[in-house]
């Protein structure tokens, strides 16, 4: 049932974005270019912050995705890469296809070690605090107006909200892989948008590695002869 709901959510979001959201505005492509290139003069700081936070969210998810994907039949990295450009559009198929993964088997590679590092969470948190502080100097009335009239701003805002809501789908297994059986922590992280997941990345215990079994070297009787 959960998988079906995720597929329905994915299809519904795509359908809404292209058929029911406000129309595209003539300045959408120049706006995206300026946001990507860092030419933010004349752009509402709230739009700048929202756009850049949609780059923070894929990093937050990646800190859970790659350890989760190490035990899945499907690799996580294509969906993680897609999420940097498409947000929840690229992430939802993985969430619908994955199986519960409460254990981490094997050894951590360099990428999982980097994403598991508490300083990674700290750096993401500092960047987020800076973006949020920058955004609060913006014009909320202008953002609401753009949300109602611009497909880009409208879908981007909904994508941000959806990424906040989907985080618990990975959180439970990530906590289990670290031996954290505390429902209060789960709900505290899940119910605080953005900063709950960031605090979790900063404070969670390291992912334990499974010790590889060592087998004694033995020689057959034929080899001895």
State the Cα–Cα distance between residues 92 and 117, nearest whole angstrom: 25
Q: Which of 208, 207, 209 is nearest to 116 (CA)?
A: 207
- Do residues 31 and 43 touch, judged by C-beta distance below 8 A? yes
pTM here?
0.90
Report yes or no on 216 lying in a domain. no
Cα 171 from Cα 197, distance rounded (Å): 9
In tens, the pLDDT along 106-160 reads 788 999 999 999 999 999 999 999 999 999 989 999 999 999 999 999 999 999 9
Task: Say what percent of the chain tops pLDDT 90.
Answer: 84
Residue 171 has pLDDT above 80, yes or no: yes
> Residue 31 CA to chain centroid, in angstroms?
24
pLDDT in tens, 22-64: 999 999 999 999 999 999 999 999 999 999 999 999 999 999 9
Buried b (16+ CB within 10 A) or exposed e, 122-147: eebbebbeebeeebeebeeeebeebe
Tokens of 25: 């505005």
Is 191 domain-assigned?
Answer: yes
Residue 211 pLDDT more than 60? no
Is 114 inside any structural domain? yes
201 within domain boundaries: yes
Query: How far apart, in whole angstroms, are the C-alpha atoms of residue 63 and residue 52?
Result: 18
Residue 178 located in a structural domain = yes
Residue 144, CA distances (Å) to 33, 105, 119 in order: 22, 47, 35
Is 218 within a domain? no
Q: What is the pLDDT of residue 220?
A: 40
What is the arithmetic mean of pLDDT over 92-104? 93
Q: Is residue 24 part of a domain?
A: yes
Q: How many domains does the chain have?
A: 1
| Residue 185: inside a domain | yes
For residue 70, the enclosing domain spans 2-208
Q: Which two tokens stand for residue 209?
A: 């590695």
């Amino acid at each position: 049932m959960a998988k079906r709901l995720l597929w329905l959510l994915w299809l519904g979001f795509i359908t809404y974005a292209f058929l029911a959201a406000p129309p595209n505005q003539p300045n959408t492509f120049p706006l995206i270019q300026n946001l990507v290139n860092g030419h933010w003069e004349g752009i509402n700081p709230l739009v700048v912050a929202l756009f850049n936070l949609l780059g923070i969210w894929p990093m937050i998810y990646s800190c859970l995705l790659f350890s989760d994907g190490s035990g899945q039949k499907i690799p996580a990295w294509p969906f993680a890469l897609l999420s940097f450009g498409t947000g929840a559009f690229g992430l939802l198929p993985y969430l619908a296809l994955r199986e519960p993964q409460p254990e981490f088997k094997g050894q951590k590679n360099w990428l999982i070690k980097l994403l598991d590092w508490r300083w990674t969470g700290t750096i993401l948190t500092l960047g987020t605090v800076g973006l949020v502080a920058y955004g609060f100097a913006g014009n909320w009335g202008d953002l609401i107006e753009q949300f109602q009239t611009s497909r880009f701003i409208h879908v981007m805002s909904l994508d941000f909200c959806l990424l906040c809501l989907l985080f618990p789908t990975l959180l439970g297994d990530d906590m289990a892989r670290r031996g954290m059986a505390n429902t209060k922590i789960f709900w505290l992280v899940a119910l605080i948008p953005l900063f709950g997941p960031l605090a979790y990345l900063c404070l969670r215990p390291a992912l334990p590695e499974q010790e590889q079994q060592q087998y004694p070297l033995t020689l057959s009787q034929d080899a001895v002869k």
